[in-house]
Amino acid sequence: MSELERLAASVLCVGFDGAFAEHAPLRELAELGPGGVVLFARNAGDLVETRALVDAVCAAIEGEAGARPFVAVDQEGGRVARLRRGAHDVPPMMALGAADDPALAERVGLLVAGDLRSAGVTVDFAPVLDLALEARSAVVGTRAFGDDPQRVGALGAAFGRGLERGGVAATYKHFPGHGATAHDSHDLLPRLTAGADLLRSRDLVPFRIAVAAGARAIMVAYVVAAAFDDELPASLSPRVVAGVLRGELGFTGACFTDCLEMDALAGFGAARAAVRALQAGADCALISHSLERAREARDAIVAAVLAGDLPESRLREASARLAALRASHAAEPAPDDGAAAEAARRAITVVRSPSPRDYTLEAGEAVTVISFDAAAASGADDRASEEATLNLALRRRRVRSESLRVPAEPTPEMIEHLLAVVTAQRSRRVVLQAAGAVRFPEQRAALDALLGNVPDAIVALMREPFDAVVLPAARIVLCAYGANEVCVEALADVLTARASAHGRLPVALAS
């Protein structure tokens, strides 16, 4: 491999298959010599197994390339957490927004960093600084802290500070903001139509706060911010990366693209997009799935330098920024294991209820929990992750609970069956677990029908509080922000009066 090929490979971060060293493409990774690797659920065992895989991959690459790669992962909490077995279950960013305590957010970030360091991970593609501005957004939702730019910036900077204290580099994303569009860049290229003044006073504010707090890494989105560049996706736009991020915000750290294989860039192709991103001022091209595409990207970068289309100085600058990101930092131990559970409890929010008595379930009380499956909201979700069961959590608290699970989009026949069951069990309290009702009309129809039959049912929102807006008949509504275990246990504590609901809505709800 030539020196220029090594340099080109050093600005790539690549994904690969295999959860164990014997199944991983070690030879191909060593021959490519990327500057970093990224882990997904397909690579994750428990933390010890993941560490063994990481050490084998890093040793193979370091032996050939001469430098240990950084190891990245998307570990946000909630529905986007690639490492689960042996890792702390952490509520999503929006739950931290509802708890609204930067010191607590920092403790959770430090807790996450401890898990990542145990697995050998040195870069976290978190926290999300997008604003939750679009109720129908499947890609942002509970991944955002909320919709207030200053509060999101403060909480995001605190979470990132916790990661950095734990020896893991935080990567703030997705610049210049993905929250004002309902479209998922995993599937198509979204457009932000807001004017430049609005973007600067709203969407860019959390990133400006992060940069001022010393952000070392930022990930740029695949959205067209028309006010800055009406044609190119932000990751490939010199006006956005060099002009706004570097020039206006003064960011000097490492700039990552999102995955170059996402459908938002289908018209470019990964290799061509990698060159365009470097030309725009990005430092690392992320290719999450195909090592063949990664090799093509390396070769395209080399060809662009030789043709004079990409200055070698720009390539060396990008490589140097990633080398600085790889530099190790002393890691503090996590202060306690209870930060995640505390955050989840403090997040539980009463959206509507006459009094706490109306949503309190007594020991021995007969309850039917009807839960709608929280289908994967976007391409960022961990599709194989298991949801916790409120029914079992209530049983552990001595409530006589039974459960019915329903698809996120139930058929009319299923709705009819639910009504028949509820009608036949008039003596039982009913808890309805909504999950994305704002996006699923069939789920809304089922919930409306059930609320017409049981108006005093407790509605538990397991995703965003936006669901409350489309359920006006619900008189008792609480929001847990997540269906993972830590959120469900917190909700069960509140429903059985073992904890009080102190969360505040992190987003404005339409009247």
pLDDT digits (tens, 9 = 90+) for 414-433: 999 999 999 998 899 999 99
* Catalytic-role residue among 186, 289, 467, 493: 186
Neighbours of 486 (CB within 10 A): 25
Residue 17 known to be catalytic: no
Task: Round to the nearest angstrom and report the end-to-end CA distance of the chain.
Answer: 62
Q: How many domains does the chain fold into?
A: 2
Q: Is residue 439 part of a domain?
A: yes
CA-CA distance, 240 to 247, in Å (whole number)?
9
* 354/245 same-domain check: no
Distance CA 44, CA 17 (A): 10
Q: In terms of domains, do 192 and 283 share one? A: yes
Within-domain flag for 247: yes
**pLDDT the model gives residue 384:** 45
Q: Is residue 332 part of a domain?
A: no
Contacts of residue 391, Cβ cutoff 8 Å, sequence gap at least 6 = 369, 371, 401, 402, 403
Q: What tens digit of pLDDT does each residue of 97-115 get?
A: 999 999 999 999 999 999 9
Which band of pLDDT confidence, cut at 50, 70 and 90, is reported for residue 45? Answer: very high
**CA-CA distance, 414 to 188, in Å (whole number)?**
33
CA distance 131 to 140: 8
CA distance 490 to 482: 10
Q: Do residues 374 and 489 share a domain?
A: yes
Question: Taking a C-beta distance cutoff of 8 angstroms, is the pair 8, 271 a contact?
Answer: no
461-486 pLDDT, tens digit each: 999 999 999 999 999 999 999 999 99
Q: What global pTM score does this model have?
A: 0.95
Statement to judge: residues 175 and 263 lie in one domain = yes
Does position 331 have pLDDT exceeding 90, yes or no? no
Same domain, 315 and 353: no
Q: Is residue 46 part of a domain?
A: no
Q: Which amino acid is at 34?
A: P
- Domain carrying residue 116: 86-326
Considering the domain architecture, whether residues 293 and 229 belong to the same structural domain is answered as yes
Cα 336 from Cα 103, distance rounded (Å): 13
Query: What residues pair up with 286 in beta bridges, in sequence order?
Result: 13, 259
**Pair (145, 237) in one structural domain:** yes
Inside any domain, residue 245: yes
Alpha-carbon span 274 to 270, nearest angstrom = 6
Whether 420 is in a domain gets the answer yes
For the domain that residue 439 is a member of, what is the CATH number?
A: 3.40.50.1700
The answer as to whether 447 is a domain residue is: yes
Q: Are residues 306 and 414 in the same domain?
A: no
Per-residue confidence band for 203, with pLDDT thresholds at 50, 70 and 90: very high
Higher pLDDT: 312 or 378? It is: 312
Q: What is the pLDDT of residue 191?
A: 87
**pLDDT of amino acid 185:** 52
Same domain, 169 and 227: yes
Block residue for tokens 């009380």: 365
- Is residue 331 packed enough to be buried (19+ CB in 10 Å), middle (13-18) or exposed (0-12)? middle
Residue 333 lies in a domain: no
Q: Answer yes or no: 258 catalytic.
A: yes
Q: In CATH, what number is assigned to the domain containing residue 266?
A: 3.20.20.300
The verdict on 429 and 318 lying in the same domain is: no
Q: Which two tokens stand for residue 473?
A: 């008949």
Residue 142 sits in the same domain as residue 212: yes
Beta strands in 29-128 (DSSP E): 36-39, 70-73, 75-77, 80-81, 123-124
How far is the C-alpha of 355 from the C-alpha of 86, rounded, in Å? 38
**What 3-state class would DSSP assign to 431?**
strand
Q: Find the catalytic residue in 101, 258, 283, 381.
A: 258
